[in-house]
Structure 1
């Protein structure tokens, strides 16, 4: 029996919103949904040309947004 992760390993530089939401939920303290990520994208968070999320670029965008708001 094969595992889907063996077929297409996760890449932090090109994650679907679904995979990114799952990973961020598992590693963070709060749940993250695809809708939350999409709202950030709609607010200007960067995405790759194919619509995937680069977690490094996304994290940098979040830090920039937090500093802009004074968080």
Structure 2
């Protein structure tokens, strides 16, 4: 998959390796029981969640980070 979800990208399928925060929030909100906001994602990034150099997020890396954090028991 070579498409990018960076700002200004052409319309088309989403790239789970490079989701804009808006797309990530919308996807996670639709898939889960609770709404996810861009602010929540930004807070997670500030707390150490992985993000790409261009500010996008990799869905699989983010979910792995969430699972690791959940396992810490904090």
Into which bin does the TM-score normalised by the smaller protein fall? 0.7 to 0.9
Task: List 4+ stretches of structure 1 deviating above 3 A.
Answer: none
Q: What TM-score does the superposition give when structure 2 sets the normalisation length?
A: 0.81
CA RMSD in angstroms, aligned pairs only: 1.4
TM-score by length of 1: 0.85
Where do 5+ consecutive residues of structure 1 fail to align? 1-5
Q: How does 1:42-53 map to 2 (within 5 A)?
A: 42-53=46-57
Considering fraction of residues, name the structure with more helix: 1
Whole-Å Cα distance in 2 between the matches of residues 36 and 14 of structure 1? 18
Which structure: larger Rg? 1
Count of residues in Structure 1 that have an aligned counterpart in Structure 2: 65
